[in-house]
Structure 1
Amino acid sequence: MHLAYVTSYNVLDHSDWPENLVGLRGAGYHLAQHLEKQSVQLDYIGPLKQEYRFINRLKRKFYRKFLHKVYACWADPAVIRDYADQVSRKLSSSTANIVLCPENAQTIAYLECKQPIVLWTDAPQTVLIDFYSIFSNFCHESKRHVYALEKAALDRSKLVIFLSDWAAQNAIKIYGINPSKVRVVPWGANIECNRTYEDINNIVESKNTRSCRLLFIGVDWLRKGGDTSLHVAKELNKSGLKTELIVVGSEPPTSEIFPNYVKFLGFINKYTTEGIKQINELFCTSHFLIVPSRAETYGHVFCEANSFGLPSIATNVGGIPTIIKDGVNGKTFSVNSRVEEYSTYIASLISNYSEYKRLARSSFHEYQSRLSWEVAAKTAKQLIIELV
């Protein structure tokens, strides 16, 4: 099998990946690595230039200054057509028989090519409007552009793969696409894993059973529920369970002084030797990953936690329920759940450590059976073979 692997960024060079896109771009990298391990030949069609014209910048300024709205230059038809032209030129020298885009729809929305197109993405971008803060306050023109480009991409694609049932159902409902060409295949953990069940048992047995360490990872404090995580840690300490909260990636937008059981480590780049060593240590020594997001299309960090047998505490929003199954690899709560509900659940597992150990082993099983890149690549390869 020979794929043209279309991305707007350089898959093989993580040095220029912005912090807020490390998850998405890391996914593109790990997927490529595991497809090649499946003997799939890849032609890397990227990076691509994102060029905003004078009229794009003028519109953005006009909407912001006079209408107090956001004009999304990245969704402008001229920008999308330019992406298609760049991809088309690069495809002209490729002998690939399938085009795979493991990103959002922009790069292939207006692409005319002889090869069947496969789009593998986290969620329709239309559902992100007013769901993510960076997609908030769009002007009507940009909303139309987002819908049009995504509709074009979905219509052109012979196969559309989403990461969650939530995303797939929304795409079918919003765009009326044929369900027969839609599949759900979760992405894996953006972290290498050669751990065994014996390793997981050793990790779990070595943890302190008289205290609790919560690990929060996220670059957007509010959207990822950092404030909720903090309140949960406070409640657990108040109830008598000594609890530590480790925060990786972001800090709250406040000058508040925090208790000494909260430790802020900042952004950790797991694509460096020191960074991956530090991340691995945190996953091994924590009792729970806690990321109670207010909005989330997926969440690679949950897959990463599973690869260490680390149960996850999260919310049942967006694509998270496809990853986290209650009582299997953690628990999801409503966005409106009280802090006491979180703390009661956590404390009950720490006090009943045999049940915690069962949950930890089950979490690792979920990683091995459906939340690894190896499984994702094998599943996708079989789906794509059927198109050839």
Structure 2
Amino acid sequence: MPWYSFKEISARFDDVVLINTPAMDKVVERLAALQRYGFSVRQRRLLSAIYGRIINRRLAEIKPDIVLSIGASHKLIRIDPKWRLLHVSDGLFMTMVNYYEKFGRFRQAVLRTGHNDLQQFMCKVDLTLFASQWAHDSALTHYDLDPARARVDLFGANLDVDPGFRERQLDGPLTILFVGYDWERKGGDLVLATWRLLREATGDAELHIVGCKPAVAANIDGVTVHGRLRKSDPRDYAKLTHLYDRASMFFMPSRAEAFGMVFCEAAAYGIPSVAAITGGVPSVVIDNETGLLLDLGADARAYADRILDLWSDKVRFRAMSLAARRRFETHLNWNAWGEGVERGINDILSGVISPR
């Protein structure tokens, strides 16, 4: 279970038991490379049977009031249907397969098995909380789901400390921050091309790149490549915080993005985000309110024009910065997500949501 979601759940409920399957998880991780050949170990019936035996045995010992699954559908396909079950997802199997290019090599047998197993699992789920409207709507399209058993509950920013709101510097250079480990999928080339236009227009625009070290961005005046900064390292975390504090806008026009946790983090600092309309991003960034959203096919000139238009209007920029922070305070934090989970659990246990 992801740390921040586990931390939130543990703070809300007195008796939380985490079922770990480290040995099996290592096997799955090692065999994940086989995806490039169209093979997916997660969609193997033997794997789901092994997970099923391990988890059902633990559940029989624990006797929980409810089972909370966070992105663990492949482990719970064989779960005993007697348990009440709330599932959290940023996208079900067919949603992801039809969206991410890396799954395009999956063989038909893998697709059939994955789809059928997921449908079998969803028949045992009392309620699913989707991280975005996109994931929610796609699930209703691909699977036989009762709309009353599907809700949207946004994820939060992965921050240990709320940074609070600070006014952006408007009298210095336009400073663009990119944070992403996958330069190509996160739209890095488009970011660099856009920055060149911004630099030409302003004379001093800066670009800071975190999470990767693209060769095309090396040794360029005005571009600083920071590489990977680990939040677990105090020095790296302080550096990342400093970059967020200095940034004018956060820019990550991903080619594919199921959610985009970094947009939540930018909002926590009151930084308007600039992104492409794809996947779950429009649930996180609200166009012309908390940031700028452009069509997936938009080019560098289109991005540069909208960024410069916003940067030239200080009143509008300040309003967008404040709106981004408010969006974090009301929706894009783990406490807000936890409220949705707690509400869902209460609705299941109280009978508002009837048993499957």
TM-score (norm 1): 0.84
RMSD: 2.2
Residues 36/210 of structure 1: CA separation in 2 closer, same or farther (3 Å cut):
same
Q: Aligned residue for 2:352?
A: none
Q: Distance in 2 between matches of 1:257 and 1:92?
A: 56
Choose which of 315, 329, 352 in structure 1 pairs with 2:313.
352
1:204 partnered with 2:167: yes
1:33 partnered with 2:1: no
How far did 1:256 drift?
A: 7.0
1:122-271 equivalences under 5 Å are: 122-129=90-97, 131-196=99-164, 200=165, 203-205=166-168, 207-252=169-214, 254=215, 257-271=218-232
Choose which of 45, 48, 53 in structure 1 pairs with 2:19.
45
How far did 1:45 drift?
A: 0.6
How far did 1:124 drift?
A: 1.2
- Report % sequence identity: 22
Q: Distance in 2 between matches of 1:361 and 1:255?
A: 34
Q: Aligned residue for 1:23?
A: none
- The superposition leaves residues 132-180 of structure 1 with CA deviations (integer Å, 9 ceiling, x where unpaired) of 2332211111111221221122111111111111111111111121111
1:361 partnered with 2:322: yes
Report the secondary structure of 2:151's partner residue: strand
Q: Distance in 2 between matches of 1:255 and 1:94?
A: 53
Contact 1:213 1:286 (8 Å CA) reproduced: yes
Q: Aligned residue for 1:10?
A: none
1:17-96 equivalences under 5 Å are: 28-50=2-24, 69-96=37-64
1:277 partnered with 2:245: no
Report the secondary structure of 2:23's partner residue: coil
Q: Distance in 2 between matches of 1:308 and 1:70?
A: 41
Q: Aligned residue for 1:107?
A: 75
The count of corresponding residues between Structure 1 and Structure 2 is: 346
Structure 1: give runs of 5+ residues left out of the alignment.
1-6, 8-27
Q: Distance in 2 between matches of 1:331 and 1:41?
A: 42
Contact 1:189 1:371 (8 Å CA) reproduced: yes
Contact 2:217 2:223 (8 Å CA) reproduced: no
- The superposition leaves residues 275-329 of structure 1 with CA deviations (integer Å, 9 ceiling, x where unpaired) of 3222211111101111101111001110111111011001110000011111221
TM-score (norm 2): 0.91
Report the secondary structure of 2:256's partner residue: coil
140-149 vs 360-369, greater mean Cα deviation:
140-149
Choose which of 253, 265, 280 in structure 2 pairs with 1:304.
265
How far did 1:241 drift?
A: 4.4
How far did 1:123 drift?
A: 0.5
1:341 partnered with 2:302: yes
Contact 1:130 1:137 (8 Å CA) reproduced: no
How far did 1:86 drift?
A: 1.5
> Structure 1 segments of 4 or more deviating over 6 A?
none
Q: Distance in 2 between matches of 1:168 and 1:130?
A: 15
Amino acid at match of 1:34: E
Q: Distance in 1 between matches of 2:207 and 2:72?
A: 34
Q: Distance in 1 between matches of 2:117 and 2:222?
A: 47
Residues 250/257 of structure 1: CA separation in 2 closer, same or farther (3 Å cut):
closer
Q: Distance in 2 between matches of 1:177 and 1:81?
A: 24
How far did 1:42 drift?
A: 1.1
